[in-house]
Each structure stands twice: as structure tokens, then as C-alpha cells.
Amino acid sequence: MAICKLVSTFLVKLTLAVSDALNQIRSKRVLDNGKDLMRNANSKSHHVRPEKKFDYTKGIEKLLNYRRRWRTFKLVVFLLAAGVLFLFWPQTFWLQTEPEDPYISNFLVRKDNAIKQILIWSGTQRKEVRAFGIGKKVFAERGCAFTQCEISLYRWGYPIHYYDAVVVVFNDEFVTQEDLMMPEFPNGRNPNQRLIFFTQESPTALRSHYNMTRFNNYFNWTMTYLKKSDIPLLYGRIIPKASAPRTPEEVAKFRRKARQSLRKRTANTAVRRKKKGKVAWMVSHCWTHSMRELYVMELKKYIDVDVYGKCGNLTCPIHALHSSDPQCYTMLQSNYKFYLAFENSLCKDYVTEKFFKIMAHDIIPVVYGGADYSKYAPPYSYINAGKFEPKELADYLNLLDANDTLYNEYFWWKDHYRVEYSVDDMSRHGFCDLCQKLHEDSSHKSYPEMSTDWGEESKRCA
């Protein structure tokens, strides 16, 4: 706005100066023309009666003066119109015209090349994006190691090659025509720009919305829950403290110690005996690719399972960013010993927040997914349903329920690790790492194809 005011003031002053100069020029010309007219009026060849000479001369002067003012008025109007176009239609002027090399326009518009510009191209309503925020200050507010970045959500603000990174969000939640539109590069790709494939969904959830064969040699980086991603966007993390064991022998030592002393907090015997139920499950998708619902249906024949959400007869409040309200997990911890952390897809590395949230509470998660959970959690901290038939699992859970010593052993790790599970933690790690990578990684690469990991023929899912 300050620049616009300066330009406007300059144009007004320029217009007035030009107008004054033209007035002086026009005045001199009128004076000269007036003298010529007077000579003609006094000449013998000019047949005008003496009493009409003054009126005749005065009329000519008025006519010339009118023409002079009219031309000056047209010039002023033209300059003002040009100024308005300059301010409000910059695409028609040199500031926004495409240079011969389309990539040098970055230097015409951007003033601080140390700031890495990040555009969220689509899915701007996703909770991961909303949780982190936009602008420059957000990177410092989130405690990022690198803060010289800026996030924008408005794709029409600048030409596409202005941005250092363009993040394309693939999801099954926001799939409008505008969300499904992909960035186009009519002047060719900027080799210094990173086009980023962003998703928190499994391949099975994306298949009905995206044709991955379109993206051969299209994306430069990936930002997903896969551990091999360029920017890992994990749903959660279990981080060892200084006291965490480093060998299997140390793990066995901590487990023996856990059997001998019951945990304080909610894990003591008195509290456990007050728990109303054994197994709980919160679920909103009733029919899934993993067919977890069939496993639970069989499991319920041998042990009671309380089902919360759209697929059950019990309810728990919904939270805008955290799916289920945090109070739900406090309730589960107080009332149940086991929680079914069953994924809707059996895909490699697909471990969602339902697992990490339970790990942060005093309740044992029973997992069912396609990931290697030993890469995400300490040993003997969860139960893998994939290694049991439903009846076998029910028998094992009943055994643990009846034996506090065996049950307590599953909490041996609690004092030696900390759990990150919120969407704020996830987005902070993701976007802070993205900013750092933009500053540190100048290498060039692109993915030859995306179908192997994310398309119809993906073999990452069972």
C-alpha cells in the first residue's frame, strides 16, 4: 500500500508539472498568435470595419484559449488513466510481464531471496495445514530450527515459478474440482523449485480420486507417512529418553522390574479392578479395505468389545482437529484395559494417530495393520492382533485381564520414553523439516513414476 501511495503522489505531481509547462508554452503561442491577429486586423487587406476590430480579436483569443484548455484537459485525463492502469492492472506493464527467461521473474518480484516461499496448492482445509498456520512468523512460533520460510495458501497470488516449493495435497476429504486441479507450467519447470507430493492417506483411499500414471517425472519430493519420504510426516513418534534401554538384556531387566512393582498413576490394582470393561474400539468407517470389522465381529464372540462412534452404540465427543475429543481417551484409560488400534488399510508404514494416542495413555493397544510396529514402538508395549486368530486373541486378553503382574509388564517402557501424538506435533515436524530441507538440499531429482507406491498397482497394501 505504501508503494501505491508513493506512485500515486508521483503521478499527480508529474501531471501538474506537465500541465504547468504546457500552459506556459500555450500562453506564449497565444500571445504570438494574438499579435499576428492584431497586425492582420490593422492591415488593409483585412476588410473589417474599425468598430468591429476589437470584438473580432477578442473572439479569436477566446477560441484559441478554449482549444488550449481542451488539449491540456485531454492530456491530464490520459496521464491519470495511465496511472490508474499502472496501479491496478500491473499485468499490462513491465513489472509483471514475462521475461525471456521465465525464472528470472523471481528476482523482479521477490526482495528477500533468503526467505523460502512455500505454496500449499490444494487441501488447504486439511487439519495438518490448519494446525501449523501460515505466514513467516509461524516457523519461529513453532520452534523450527530454520525460520526463514513463508507459507501461503493463495495459489493466484504470484506466478507459479515464484515459489520455492509447491505442496500438492492428495486426500479423500477435500476433492472439489479446484482441489483436483494440478499445477501447470506453460513456460517450463524451474529446476530450483520443488514440487511436493503430500498425503496422509493410504493408496487404497486415493485410488478413486487420482490417476497416478499422470505424474511421471512430475514430483521432486514426497511428504508422507512413509519412513522413506523426503520429508517424513509421521502421525506420531515414540522418542527414547536418556534412560531408555539399548540392548535386549536391558529391556528384559526393565520388564522384570515392571512385574515386581505395580505402576502408580492409573495402573494400580485398585483402579484396574474398578474398570467396567475390557476392550474398547472407536471407529467411524464401518466397512474398510482391511476388513477389520470382520475380525472384530469374530472377536466379539469370545470377549466383550464396546464400540464407540458411527459403527457402534456408544458415543464420544468429536474434536475439530483431533478427531476424537481428548477427554475420550481419558475415559478409555479409566474404564478399559485394552484398545483396538485397527487400521482401515493394511499398508506398509501406515500407522495412524489411533495407535500413538493410546500409547500416551495407561491402556494397552491391540494393533492390526500392515506396518512393522517394532520400528515405531518399544518391544512388549503393544499386542499385535495379526499374530492371533480372533479366539486366540480373546484368550490372551482374558489371561492378561486376570493377571495384574502380566498386564503390568506391558507398561515397563513408560518411564523411559515419551510419546508425541497430536496433529500439532505432526505438522510441526513436517513443515519445520520442509523449511530446513529447502535451505540445505540443493540437489535435483524427480520421481520417474508414482504408481508403484500410490497407484492402482501399488503392492504396499495387502
* Inter-helix orientation angle 2-42/53-88, to 10°: 160
| Average pLDDT of the chain to the nearest whole number | 82
pLDDT in tens, 162-197: 999 999 999 998 888 999 999 999 888 999 999 999
Confidence of residue 420 (pLDDT cuts 50, 70, 90): very high
Tens-digit pLDDT profile for residues 353-387: 999 999 999 999 999 999 999 999 999 999 999 99
Condensed to tens digits (0 to 9), the pLDDT of residues 34-56 reads 445 445 444 444 444 555 444 54
Instruction: Write the pLDDT tens digit of every residue in 263-310.
Output: 554 444 444 445 667 999 999 899 999 999 999 999 999 999 999 999
- Greater model confidence, 221 or 31: 221
CATH number assigned to the domain with residue range 237-420, chosen from the 4 options 3.40.50.11660, 3.30.1490.100, 3.90.470.10, 3.30.365.10: 3.40.50.11660
How would residue 67 be classed by pLDDT, with cut points 50, 70 and 90?
low
- Asked whether residue 401 carries a pLDDT value surpassing 90, the answer given is yes
pLDDT interval class at 12 (50, 70, 90): low
pLDDT tens by residue, 118-153: 999 999 999 999 999 999 999 999 999 999 999 999
Q: What is the pLDDT of residue 270?
A: 42
For 429-445, the pLDDT digits (tens) are 999 999 999 999 999 99
